[in-house]
A and B are shown apart, each in its own frame.
Chain A
Protein backbone atom coordinates (compact mmCIF):
# COMPACT_ATOMS: atom_id res chain seq x y z
CA UNK A 1 0.00 0.00 0.00
CA UNK A 2 2.89 2.38 0.59
CA UNK A 3 4.57 1.59 -2.72
CA UNK A 4 2.83 4.47 -4.37
CA UNK A 5 4.44 6.91 -1.99
CA UNK A 6 8.03 5.99 -2.83
CA UNK A 7 9.87 8.14 -5.31
CA UNK A 8 9.57 6.64 -8.73
CA UNK A 9 13.12 6.24 -9.96
CA UNK A 10 12.21 5.03 -13.43
CA UNK A 11 11.91 8.60 -14.61
CA UNK A 12 14.76 10.95 -15.24
CA UNK A 13 13.55 13.19 -12.44
CA UNK A 14 12.44 11.95 -9.08
CA UNK A 15 8.68 11.94 -9.09
CA UNK A 16 6.78 11.96 -5.86
CA UNK A 17 3.07 11.93 -5.39
CA UNK A 18 1.21 14.72 -3.63
CA UNK A 19 -0.90 13.78 -0.65
CA UNK A 20 -4.30 15.39 -0.63
CA UNK A 21 -6.26 15.15 2.55
CA UNK A 22 -10.01 15.19 2.16
CA UNK A 23 -10.49 15.81 5.80
CA UNK A 24 -13.21 14.89 8.20
CA UNK A 25 -15.03 18.13 7.47
CA UNK A 26 -15.71 18.30 3.80
CA UNK A 27 -18.86 18.86 1.84
CA UNK A 28 -18.32 15.71 -0.15
CA UNK A 29 -17.50 13.10 2.45
CA UNK A 30 -20.97 12.23 3.68
CA UNK A 31 -20.27 12.50 7.33
CA UNK A 32 -17.04 12.55 9.28
CA UNK A 33 -14.83 10.46 7.08
CA UNK A 34 -11.29 11.21 6.14
CA UNK A 35 -9.49 10.01 3.07
CA UNK A 36 -5.90 10.67 2.20
CA UNK A 37 -5.29 10.47 -1.52
CA UNK A 38 -1.88 10.10 -3.05
CA UNK A 39 -2.24 11.76 -6.43
CA UNK A 40 0.00 12.04 -9.42
CA UNK A 41 -1.30 15.12 -11.19
CA UNK A 42 -4.98 14.29 -11.21
CA UNK A 43 -4.79 10.52 -11.10
CA UNK A 44 -5.24 8.81 -7.77
CA UNK A 45 -2.45 6.40 -7.01
CA UNK A 46 -3.43 5.36 -3.53
CA UNK A 47 -6.22 5.95 -1.10
CA UNK A 48 -6.03 5.62 2.66
CA UNK A 49 -9.33 5.88 4.49
CA UNK A 50 -9.48 6.93 8.14
CA UNK A 51 -12.61 6.10 10.06
CA UNK A 52 -13.59 6.15 13.69
CA UNK A 53 -14.58 9.78 14.06
CA UNK A 54 -18.09 8.76 14.94
CA UNK A 55 -17.42 5.84 17.23
CA UNK A 56 -19.71 6.04 20.26
CA UNK A 57 -19.40 2.56 21.67
CA UNK A 58 -22.87 1.50 20.63
CA UNK A 59 -22.10 -2.17 20.87
CA UNK A 60 -20.65 -1.88 24.37
CA UNK A 61 -23.49 0.34 25.52
CA UNK A 62 -25.99 -2.20 24.27
CA UNK A 63 -24.59 -4.67 26.76
CA UNK A 64 -25.97 -2.46 29.53
CA UNK A 65 -29.41 -2.10 27.99
CA UNK A 66 -32.16 -4.61 28.24
CA UNK A 67 -34.00 -5.74 25.16
CA UNK A 68 -36.44 -2.87 25.09
CA UNK A 69 -33.98 -0.11 25.88
CA UNK A 70 -31.53 -1.26 23.23
CA UNK A 71 -33.95 -0.64 20.36
CA UNK A 72 -33.43 3.10 20.52
CA UNK A 73 -29.70 2.52 20.17
CA UNK A 74 -30.17 0.51 17.01
CA UNK A 75 -32.05 3.46 15.54
CA UNK A 76 -29.08 5.63 16.10
CA UNK A 77 -26.68 3.12 14.63
CA UNK A 78 -28.16 3.39 11.18
CA UNK A 79 -30.00 6.61 11.05
CA UNK A 80 -31.30 6.33 7.51
CA UNK A 81 -32.67 2.81 7.62
CA UNK A 82 -33.80 2.74 11.21
CA UNK A 83 -36.62 0.26 10.86
CA UNK A 84 -34.22 -2.21 9.31
CA UNK A 85 -31.79 -1.92 12.20
CA UNK A 86 -34.56 -2.27 14.77
CA UNK A 87 -35.91 -5.23 12.85
CA UNK A 88 -32.61 -7.11 12.93
CA UNK A 89 -32.33 -6.54 16.68
CA UNK A 90 -35.83 -7.70 17.54
CA UNK A 91 -35.57 -10.64 15.18
CA UNK A 92 -32.44 -11.73 17.05
CA UNK A 93 -34.29 -11.60 20.37
CA UNK A 94 -37.29 -13.40 18.91
CA UNK A 95 -35.10 -16.15 17.56
CA UNK A 96 -33.33 -16.59 20.89
CA UNK A 97 -36.60 -16.76 22.78
CA UNK A 98 -38.53 -18.63 20.09
CA UNK A 99 -41.35 -16.09 19.97
CA UNK A 100 -43.96 -16.33 17.27
CA UNK A 101 -44.78 -12.93 15.83
CA UNK A 102 -48.42 -12.34 14.78
CA UNK A 103 -49.07 -11.97 11.05
CA UNK A 104 -50.36 -8.46 11.14
CA UNK A 105 -47.23 -7.27 12.90
CA UNK A 106 -45.05 -8.93 10.27
CA UNK A 107 -46.92 -7.30 7.39
CA UNK A 108 -46.74 -3.89 9.00
CA UNK A 109 -43.06 -4.38 9.72
CA UNK A 110 -42.53 -5.23 6.08
CA UNK A 111 -44.41 -2.16 4.89
CA UNK A 112 -42.45 0.11 7.18
CA UNK A 113 -39.10 -1.41 6.23
CA UNK A 114 -39.78 -0.96 2.54
CA UNK A 115 -40.96 2.61 3.03
CA UNK A 116 -37.77 3.19 4.95
CA UNK A 117 -35.82 1.83 2.01
CA UNK A 118 -37.61 4.34 -0.18
CA UNK A 119 -36.74 7.25 2.06
CA UNK A 120 -33.13 6.11 2.37
CA UNK A 121 -32.76 5.84 -1.40
CA UNK A 122 -34.30 9.28 -1.82
CA UNK A 123 -31.62 10.59 0.49
CA UNK A 124 -29.01 8.86 -1.65
CA UNK A 125 -30.30 10.46 -4.83
CA UNK A 126 -30.19 13.84 -3.17
CA UNK A 127 -26.72 13.52 -1.74
CA UNK A 128 -25.24 11.94 -4.83
CA UNK A 129 -26.76 14.53 -7.11
CA UNK A 130 -25.20 17.19 -4.94
CA UNK A 131 -21.83 15.42 -5.24
CA UNK A 132 -22.10 15.28 -9.01
CA UNK A 133 -22.73 18.98 -9.07
CA UNK A 134 -26.42 19.39 -9.76
CA UNK A 135 -26.48 22.47 -7.65
CA UNK A 136 -28.85 21.55 -4.89
CA UNK A 137 -31.77 20.71 -7.12
CA UNK A 138 -31.67 16.96 -6.71
CA UNK A 139 -30.96 17.43 -3.01
CA UNK A 140 -34.02 19.60 -2.51
CA UNK A 141 -36.21 17.29 -4.56
CA UNK A 142 -35.08 14.28 -2.57
CA UNK A 143 -35.78 15.93 0.76
CA UNK A 144 -39.13 17.25 -0.36
CA UNK A 145 -40.31 13.77 -1.32
CA UNK A 146 -38.70 12.20 1.71
CA UNK A 147 -40.71 14.58 3.91
CA UNK A 148 -43.92 12.86 2.86
CA UNK A 149 -42.65 9.52 4.05
CA UNK A 150 -41.32 11.00 7.27
CA UNK A 151 -44.66 12.68 7.92
CA UNK A 152 -46.33 9.29 7.67
CA UNK A 153 -43.84 7.82 10.11
CA UNK A 154 -44.47 10.68 12.50
CA UNK A 155 -48.17 9.98 12.45
CA UNK A 156 -47.65 6.34 13.29
CA UNK A 157 -44.73 6.32 15.67
CA UNK A 158 -44.52 9.88 16.93
CA UNK A 159 -41.02 10.63 15.74
CA UNK A 160 -39.57 11.62 12.41
CA UNK A 161 -36.26 9.87 12.60
CA UNK A 162 -35.72 7.74 15.72
CA UNK A 163 -38.75 5.55 15.85
CA UNK A 164 -38.17 2.89 18.55
CA UNK A 165 -41.36 1.30 17.30
CA UNK A 166 -40.56 -2.39 16.95
CA UNK A 167 -40.57 -4.59 20.02
CA UNK A 168 -39.58 -8.22 20.40
CA UNK A 169 -42.75 -10.02 19.48
CA UNK A 170 -44.34 -7.37 17.29
CA UNK A 171 -44.96 -3.67 17.43
CA UNK A 172 -45.12 -1.25 20.32
CA UNK A 173 -48.61 0.04 19.54
CA UNK A 174 -51.21 -0.22 16.86
CA UNK A 175 -50.92 1.88 13.70
CA UNK A 176 -53.32 4.74 13.01
CA UNK A 177 -56.83 4.08 11.76
CA UNK A 178 -56.24 5.61 8.35
CA UNK A 179 -53.01 3.71 7.84
CA UNK A 180 -53.92 2.07 4.54
CA UNK A 181 -55.19 5.26 2.91
CA UNK A 182 -52.18 7.21 4.11
CA UNK A 183 -49.78 4.63 2.75
CA UNK A 184 -51.53 4.70 -0.61
CA UNK A 185 -51.20 8.49 -0.59
CA UNK A 186 -47.53 8.31 0.24
CA UNK A 187 -46.96 5.75 -2.50
CA UNK A 188 -48.60 7.98 -5.08
CA UNK A 189 -46.41 10.89 -4.01
CA UNK A 190 -43.34 8.68 -4.03
CA UNK A 191 -44.06 7.59 -7.56
CA UNK A 192 -44.11 11.23 -8.58
CA UNK A 193 -40.88 11.77 -6.66
CA UNK A 194 -39.13 8.87 -8.37
CA UNK A 195 -40.27 10.22 -11.71
CA UNK A 196 -38.90 13.65 -10.85
CA UNK A 197 -35.53 12.45 -9.68
CA UNK A 198 -35.22 10.00 -12.53
CA UNK A 199 -36.13 12.58 -15.14
CA UNK A 200 -33.76 15.13 -13.69
CA UNK A 201 -30.65 13.02 -13.53
CA UNK A 202 -30.66 9.54 -15.01
CA UNK A 203 -30.75 10.30 -18.71
CA UNK A 204 -28.80 13.51 -18.52
CA UNK A 205 -25.85 13.23 -20.89
CA UNK A 206 -23.59 15.23 -18.65
CA UNK A 207 -24.38 12.95 -15.74
CA UNK A 208 -23.73 9.91 -17.88
CA UNK A 209 -20.43 11.36 -18.99
CA UNK A 210 -19.48 11.88 -15.35
CA UNK A 211 -20.53 8.49 -14.05
CA UNK A 212 -20.18 5.86 -16.74
CA UNK A 213 -16.96 3.93 -16.51
CA UNK A 214 -16.13 5.58 -13.20
CA UNK A 215 -15.50 3.70 -9.97
CA UNK A 216 -15.63 0.29 -11.57
CA UNK A 217 -15.64 -2.70 -9.26
CA UNK A 218 -15.34 -6.06 -10.95
CA UNK A 219 -17.27 -9.09 -9.82
CA UNK A 220 -14.25 -10.77 -8.26
CA UNK A 221 -13.18 -7.64 -6.44
CA UNK A 222 -16.67 -7.11 -5.08
CA UNK A 223 -16.91 -10.62 -3.74
CA UNK A 224 -13.38 -10.49 -2.33
CA UNK A 225 -14.02 -7.35 -0.33
CA UNK A 226 -17.26 -8.69 1.07
CA UNK A 227 -19.46 -5.97 -0.35
CA UNK A 228 -23.20 -6.47 -0.29
CA UNK A 229 -26.26 -4.62 -1.39
CA UNK A 230 -26.43 -2.35 -4.41
CA UNK A 231 -22.62 -2.19 -4.66
CA UNK A 232 -22.44 -5.96 -5.11
CA UNK A 233 -25.46 -6.20 -7.34
CA UNK A 234 -24.15 -3.49 -9.64
CA UNK A 235 -21.07 -5.62 -10.24
CA UNK A 236 -23.13 -8.47 -11.55
CA UNK A 237 -23.68 -10.74 -8.56
CA UNK A 238 -27.33 -11.47 -7.98
CA UNK A 239 -27.40 -11.69 -4.22
CA UNK A 240 -30.21 -10.31 -2.13
CA UNK A 241 -30.98 -11.53 1.39
CA UNK A 242 -34.69 -11.01 0.80
CA UNK A 243 -34.56 -13.63 -1.89
CA UNK A 244 -31.88 -15.99 -0.62
CA UNK A 245 -32.95 -16.23 3.03
CA UNK A 246 -36.40 -14.68 3.16
CA UNK A 247 -37.39 -13.12 6.46
CA UNK A 248 -40.71 -11.48 7.30
CA UNK A 249 -42.97 -12.45 4.38
CA UNK A 250 -40.68 -11.72 1.46
CA UNK A 251 -41.34 -15.17 0.06
CA UNK A 252 -45.01 -14.30 -0.39
CA UNK A 253 -44.66 -11.19 -2.53
CA UNK A 254 -43.42 -10.77 -6.06
CA UNK A 255 -40.63 -8.36 -6.76
CA UNK A 256 -37.60 -8.10 -9.01
CA UNK A 257 -33.99 -7.65 -8.10
CA UNK A 258 -32.07 -5.36 -10.42
CA UNK A 259 -28.58 -6.56 -11.22
CA UNK A 260 -26.12 -4.34 -13.04
CA UNK A 261 -23.64 -5.49 -15.63
CA UNK A 262 -20.91 -2.89 -15.53
CA UNK A 263 -20.14 -2.27 -11.89
CA UNK A 264 -19.69 1.44 -12.28
CA UNK A 265 -21.24 4.42 -10.58
CA UNK A 266 -23.98 4.84 -13.17
CA UNK A 267 -25.14 1.30 -12.64
CA UNK A 268 -25.36 1.84 -8.90
CA UNK A 269 -27.51 4.92 -9.48
CA UNK A 270 -29.85 3.13 -11.89
CA UNK A 271 -30.03 0.18 -9.56
CA UNK A 272 -31.18 2.23 -6.62
CA UNK A 273 -33.82 4.01 -8.69
CA UNK A 274 -35.10 0.61 -9.81
CA UNK A 275 -35.07 -0.65 -6.23
CA UNK A 276 -37.24 2.30 -5.27
CA UNK A 277 -39.79 1.24 -7.84
CA UNK A 278 -39.67 -2.34 -6.59
CA UNK A 279 -40.18 -1.14 -3.02
CA UNK A 280 -43.36 0.65 -4.09
CA UNK A 281 -44.49 -2.60 -5.70
CA UNK A 282 -43.80 -4.60 -2.55
CA UNK A 283 -45.68 -2.17 -0.31
CA UNK A 284 -48.70 -2.30 -2.57
CA UNK A 285 -48.82 -6.07 -2.37
CA UNK A 286 -48.41 -5.98 1.40
CA UNK A 287 -51.31 -3.56 1.77
CA UNK A 288 -53.64 -5.99 0.04
CA UNK A 289 -52.64 -8.75 2.43
CA UNK A 290 -53.00 -6.77 5.63
CA UNK A 291 -55.70 -8.19 7.94
CA UNK A 292 -56.91 -7.03 11.33
CA UNK A 293 -55.40 -8.89 14.21
CA UNK A 294 -53.14 -8.66 17.23
CA UNK A 295 -49.76 -7.00 17.05
CA UNK A 296 -48.16 -8.72 19.99
CA UNK A 297 -48.35 -12.37 21.04
CA UNK A 298 -50.79 -13.06 23.84
CA UNK A 299 -48.47 -13.81 26.69
CA UNK A 300 -45.50 -11.51 26.61
CA UNK A 301 -43.52 -11.23 29.84
CA UNK A 302 -42.97 -7.75 31.18
CA UNK A 303 -39.25 -8.23 31.38
CA UNK A 304 -37.79 -10.31 28.57
CA UNK A 305 -35.23 -12.89 29.56
CA UNK A 306 -33.51 -14.88 26.85
CA UNK A 307 -32.12 -18.36 27.36
CA UNK A 308 -28.36 -18.66 26.84
CA UNK A 309 -27.37 -18.94 23.21
CA UNK A 310 -26.16 -17.06 20.22
CA UNK A 311 -27.79 -16.07 16.98
CA UNK A 312 -26.89 -14.27 13.76
CA UNK A 313 -29.63 -12.52 11.87
CA UNK A 314 -29.13 -10.96 8.45
CA UNK A 315 -31.42 -8.48 6.76
CA UNK A 316 -31.28 -6.57 3.53
CA UNK A 317 -30.79 -2.98 4.54
CA UNK A 318 -30.79 -0.32 1.82
CA UNK A 319 -27.02 -0.36 1.94
CA UNK A 320 -26.36 -4.06 2.01
CA UNK A 321 -26.49 -6.89 4.44
CA UNK A 322 -27.08 -5.60 7.94
CA UNK A 323 -26.47 -8.36 10.42
CA UNK A 324 -26.77 -8.70 14.19
CA UNK A 325 -24.80 -11.29 16.08
CA UNK A 326 -26.14 -11.58 19.60
CA UNK A 327 -24.73 -13.71 22.39
CA UNK A 328 -26.83 -14.15 25.47
CA UNK A 329 -25.89 -15.75 28.77
CA UNK A 330 -29.40 -15.73 30.14
CA UNK A 331 -30.67 -12.55 31.74
CA UNK A 332 -32.32 -9.54 30.22
CA UNK A 333 -29.35 -8.03 28.45
CA UNK A 334 -27.24 -9.25 25.58
CA UNK A 335 -23.84 -10.43 26.66
CA UNK A 336 -22.37 -9.30 23.36
CA UNK A 337 -23.98 -7.51 20.49
CA UNK A 338 -22.05 -7.29 17.28
CA UNK A 339 -23.38 -5.34 14.34
CA UNK A 340 -22.29 -6.57 10.93
CA UNK A 341 -22.34 -3.24 9.26
CA UNK A 342 -22.94 -3.17 5.53
CA UNK A 343 -21.18 0.13 4.99
CA UNK A 344 -18.06 -0.98 6.80
CA UNK A 345 -17.47 -3.80 4.36
CA UNK A 346 -18.46 -1.71 1.36
CA UNK A 347 -16.07 1.04 2.34
CA UNK A 348 -13.11 -1.29 2.03
CA UNK A 349 -13.69 -1.49 -1.70
CA UNK A 350 -13.25 2.26 -2.11
CA UNK A 351 -9.56 1.89 -2.78
CA UNK A 352 -10.03 -0.56 -5.62
CA UNK A 353 -12.69 1.64 -7.11
CA UNK A 354 -10.64 4.81 -7.10
CA UNK A 355 -7.12 3.85 -8.08
CA UNK A 356 -6.34 4.99 -11.57
CA UNK A 357 -9.20 7.46 -11.67
CA UNK A 358 -9.32 11.21 -11.28
CA UNK A 359 -9.77 12.88 -7.90
CA UNK A 360 -13.24 14.06 -8.79
CA UNK A 361 -14.14 10.49 -9.66
CA UNK A 362 -12.94 9.25 -6.29
CA UNK A 363 -15.44 11.62 -4.72
CA UNK A 364 -18.18 10.21 -6.93
CA UNK A 365 -17.20 6.63 -6.12
CA UNK A 366 -17.46 7.40 -2.42
CA UNK A 367 -20.85 8.98 -2.93
CA UNK A 368 -22.13 6.05 -4.93
CA UNK A 369 -21.45 3.63 -2.10
CA UNK A 370 -23.94 5.55 0.01
CA UNK A 371 -22.22 5.21 3.34
CA UNK A 372 -23.65 6.16 6.67
CA UNK A 373 -20.81 6.87 9.06
CA UNK A 374 -22.81 5.94 12.12
CA UNK A 375 -22.97 2.44 10.83
CA UNK A 376 -19.32 2.25 9.88
CA UNK A 377 -18.14 3.48 13.25
CA UNK A 378 -21.02 2.50 15.53
Chain B
Protein backbone atom coordinates (compact mmCIF):
# COMPACT_ATOMS: atom_id res chain seq x y z
CA UNK B 1 0.00 0.00 0.00
CA UNK B 2 2.90 2.30 0.70
CA UNK B 3 3.94 2.44 -2.93
CA UNK B 4 0.48 3.55 -4.00
CA UNK B 5 0.47 6.31 -1.42
CA UNK B 6 3.93 7.37 -2.50
CA UNK B 7 2.77 7.66 -6.11
CA UNK B 8 -0.11 9.80 -5.01
CA UNK B 9 2.18 11.95 -2.89
CA UNK B 10 4.47 12.53 -5.88
CA UNK B 11 1.58 13.60 -8.07
CA UNK B 12 0.27 15.87 -5.35
CA UNK B 13 3.63 17.56 -5.00
CA UNK B 14 3.61 18.21 -8.74
CA UNK B 15 0.14 19.64 -8.40
CA UNK B 16 1.50 22.32 -6.15
CA UNK B 17 4.19 23.44 -8.58
CA UNK B 18 3.80 26.12 -11.18
CA UNK B 19 2.99 24.80 -14.66
CA UNK B 20 5.91 24.89 -17.03
CA UNK B 21 3.88 25.36 -20.17
CA UNK B 22 5.03 28.15 -22.43
CA UNK B 23 2.18 29.47 -24.53
CA UNK B 24 3.53 29.61 -28.03
CA UNK B 25 3.08 31.66 -30.24
CA UNK B 26 2.33 34.43 -27.80
CA UNK B 27 5.52 33.81 -25.82
CA UNK B 28 8.77 32.61 -27.29
CA UNK B 29 11.65 30.98 -25.50
CA UNK B 30 14.83 32.97 -25.33
CA UNK B 31 17.08 31.36 -27.92
CA UNK B 32 20.72 30.89 -26.95
CA UNK B 33 23.38 32.68 -28.91
CA UNK B 34 24.61 29.56 -30.65
CA UNK B 35 21.23 28.39 -31.83
CA UNK B 36 21.41 26.81 -35.26
CA UNK B 37 18.49 27.41 -37.52
CA UNK B 38 19.06 27.65 -41.27
CA UNK B 39 22.05 29.28 -43.00
CA UNK B 40 21.92 32.91 -44.08
CA UNK B 41 24.45 35.12 -45.87
CA UNK B 42 26.15 38.12 -44.34
CA UNK B 43 26.21 41.65 -45.70
CA UNK B 44 29.30 43.81 -45.66
CA UNK B 45 28.03 47.21 -44.55
CA UNK B 46 31.17 49.10 -45.39
CA UNK B 47 31.19 48.36 -49.10
CA UNK B 48 27.48 47.51 -49.48
CA UNK B 49 27.85 44.06 -50.90
CA UNK B 50 27.74 40.48 -49.61
CA UNK B 51 30.85 39.00 -48.07
CA UNK B 52 30.32 35.94 -50.24
CA UNK B 53 32.54 35.65 -53.31
CA UNK B 54 30.96 32.52 -54.73
CA UNK B 55 33.98 30.28 -54.18
CA UNK B 56 31.90 27.07 -54.00
CA UNK B 57 33.61 25.84 -50.82
CA UNK B 58 30.36 25.45 -48.92
CA UNK B 59 28.63 23.94 -51.92
CA UNK B 60 31.24 21.21 -52.09
CA UNK B 61 31.27 20.60 -48.35
CA UNK B 62 27.53 20.28 -47.97
CA UNK B 63 26.59 16.65 -47.17
CA UNK B 64 23.14 16.89 -48.72
CA UNK B 65 23.99 19.14 -51.68
CA UNK B 66 21.41 21.77 -50.89
CA UNK B 67 23.23 24.79 -52.32
CA UNK B 68 23.70 26.16 -55.81
CA UNK B 69 26.29 28.88 -56.27
CA UNK B 70 27.18 31.10 -59.23
CA UNK B 71 29.92 33.70 -59.11
CA UNK B 72 30.59 36.68 -61.35
CA UNK B 73 33.21 39.38 -61.74
CA UNK B 74 32.64 42.09 -59.22
CA UNK B 75 31.48 45.29 -60.92
CA UNK B 76 32.40 47.21 -57.77
CA UNK B 77 36.02 46.08 -57.65
CA UNK B 78 38.75 48.67 -57.25
CA UNK B 79 40.19 47.95 -60.69
CA UNK B 80 36.96 49.03 -62.34
CA UNK B 81 36.40 52.05 -60.19
CA UNK B 82 34.59 50.69 -57.14
CA UNK B 83 35.59 50.45 -53.49
CA UNK B 84 35.62 46.72 -52.87
CA UNK B 85 38.68 44.49 -52.78
CA UNK B 86 36.72 41.42 -53.87
CA UNK B 87 37.53 40.46 -57.44
CA UNK B 88 34.65 38.07 -57.69
CA UNK B 89 31.26 38.38 -56.06
CA UNK B 90 28.30 36.15 -55.68
CA UNK B 91 25.87 36.28 -58.55
CA UNK B 92 23.19 33.77 -57.65
CA UNK B 93 22.86 31.63 -54.56
CA UNK B 94 20.13 29.17 -53.76
CA UNK B 95 19.77 27.11 -50.62
CA UNK B 96 17.03 24.55 -50.39
CA UNK B 97 15.94 24.72 -46.76
CA UNK B 98 14.01 21.51 -47.33
CA UNK B 99 17.25 19.58 -47.79
CA UNK B 100 19.48 21.41 -45.37
CA UNK B 101 20.33 19.36 -42.32
CA UNK B 102 21.76 22.27 -40.33
CA UNK B 103 25.08 20.56 -39.70
CA UNK B 104 27.10 23.83 -39.67
CA UNK B 105 29.77 22.51 -42.05
CA UNK B 106 29.21 25.32 -44.57
CA UNK B 107 29.95 27.87 -41.82
CA UNK B 108 33.11 26.03 -40.84
CA UNK B 109 34.62 25.78 -44.32
CA UNK B 110 33.82 29.32 -45.45
CA UNK B 111 37.06 31.26 -46.01
CA UNK B 112 35.39 34.65 -45.94
CA UNK B 113 33.05 34.32 -42.93
CA UNK B 114 30.26 35.01 -45.35
CA UNK B 115 27.69 32.49 -44.18
CA UNK B 116 26.31 31.87 -40.73
CA UNK B 117 23.46 30.05 -39.07
CA UNK B 118 20.42 32.10 -38.28
CA UNK B 119 19.93 32.19 -34.52
CA UNK B 120 16.61 34.01 -34.38
CA UNK B 121 13.07 32.77 -34.25
CA UNK B 122 12.52 33.76 -37.88
CA UNK B 123 15.06 31.16 -38.82
CA UNK B 124 12.93 28.49 -37.20
CA UNK B 125 9.50 29.64 -38.29
CA UNK B 126 9.70 28.65 -41.92
CA UNK B 127 6.40 26.89 -42.53
CA UNK B 128 5.16 27.00 -46.11
CA UNK B 129 2.32 25.39 -47.97
CA UNK B 130 4.40 24.28 -50.94
CA UNK B 131 7.78 22.66 -50.56
CA UNK B 132 9.17 24.64 -53.49
CA UNK B 133 8.76 27.80 -51.42
CA UNK B 134 11.50 26.57 -49.13
CA UNK B 135 14.17 27.33 -51.73
CA UNK B 136 15.73 30.65 -50.75
CA UNK B 137 17.45 32.89 -53.27
CA UNK B 138 20.11 35.53 -52.75
CA UNK B 139 17.97 38.53 -51.68
CA UNK B 140 16.07 36.35 -49.21
CA UNK B 141 19.28 35.00 -47.76
CA UNK B 142 20.74 38.47 -47.34
CA UNK B 143 17.66 40.14 -45.92
CA UNK B 144 18.07 39.02 -42.31
CA UNK B 145 21.52 40.42 -41.78
CA UNK B 146 20.99 43.41 -44.00
CA UNK B 147 18.03 44.58 -41.98
CA UNK B 148 20.09 44.41 -38.83
CA UNK B 149 17.97 41.82 -37.04
CA UNK B 150 20.60 39.15 -36.96
CA UNK B 151 23.39 39.07 -34.41
CA UNK B 152 25.39 36.12 -35.60
CA UNK B 153 27.51 34.05 -33.29
CA UNK B 154 31.14 34.04 -34.24
CA UNK B 155 33.30 31.14 -33.15
CA UNK B 156 36.73 32.40 -32.27
Contact = CB atoms under 8 A, between A and B. Distances in A.
Contact of A154 (B4, B7, B35, B102): B35
Interface residues of A, number: 34
A137 B11 contact: yes
A69 B63 contact: yes
A69 B104 CA distance: 10
A205 B34 contact: no
A263 interface: no
A180 interface: no
Contact of A158 (B3, B11, B36, B63): B36
Contacts of A71: 103
Contacts of A144: 20
Nearest to B104: A164
Among B20, B36, B119, B153, the most chain A Cβ lie within 10 Å of the Cβ of B36
Contacts of B63: 65, 69-70, 72-73
Contact of A172 (B4, B61, B104): B104
A157 B104 CA distance: 10
Contact of B103 (A141, A164, A196, A207): A164
Contacts of A70: 63
Interface residues of B, number: 27
Nearest to B61: A69
Interface in A114-167: 137, 141, 144, 147, 154-159, 162, 164
Given A199-B9, A205-B3, A68 B20 contact: no
Interface string B20-63: 10000000000010111000000000000000000000000101
Nearest to B32: A155
B104 A200 contact: no
A158 B10 contact: no
B73 interface: no
Interface in B85-125: 101-105, 108, 117, 119
Q: Determine chain A's interface SS by DSSP, over half rule.
A: helix
Contacts of A205: 1, 3-4
B11 A200 contact: yes
B6 interface: yes
A203 B2 contact: yes
Interface string B130-156: 000000000000000000000001010
B4 A206 contact: yes
Contacts of A157: 34, 36
A312 to B, nearest CB: 24
Given A72-B103, A158-B104, A199 B117 contact: no
B104 A203 contact: no
A362 to B, nearest CB: 25
B127 interface: no
B34 A155 contact: yes
A272 B122 CA distance: 39
Nearest to B7: A204
Given A173-B155, A199-B10, A201-B7, A69 B105 contact: yes
Interface in A196-215: 196, 199-208
Contacts of A196: 10, 14
A104 to B, nearest CB: 16
A248 to B, nearest CB: 23
Given A173-B155, A199-B9, A205-B4, A68 B117 contact: no
Contacts of A141: 14
Contacts of B61: 68-69
Nearest to A207: B3
A162 B101 CA distance: 9
Contacts of B4: 204-206
A261 to B, nearest CB: 20
A9 B117 CA distance: 69
A360 to B, nearest CB: 20
Given A72-B63, A196-B14, A158 B6 contact: no
Contacts of A173: 155
A208 B1 CA distance: 12
A200 B5 CA distance: 9
A172 B108 contact: yes
B102 A162 contact: yes
B62 to A, nearest CB: 8
A90 to B, nearest CB: 14
A16 B102 CA distance: 53
A328 B125 CA distance: 41
Nearest first, the 6 closest Cβ-Cβ pairs linking A and B are A203-B3, A158-B36, A69-B63, A199-B10, A72-B103, A158-B34
16 contacts: A68-B61, A72-B63, A137-B11, A154-B34, A155-B32, A156-B34, A158-B32, A158-B34, A158-B35, A162-B101, A199-B9, A200-B7, A200-B11, A203-B7, A204-B7, A205-B4
Given A157-B36, A158-B153, A159-B35, 5 more contacts: A68-B105, A69-B63, A158-B36, A172-B108, A204-B4
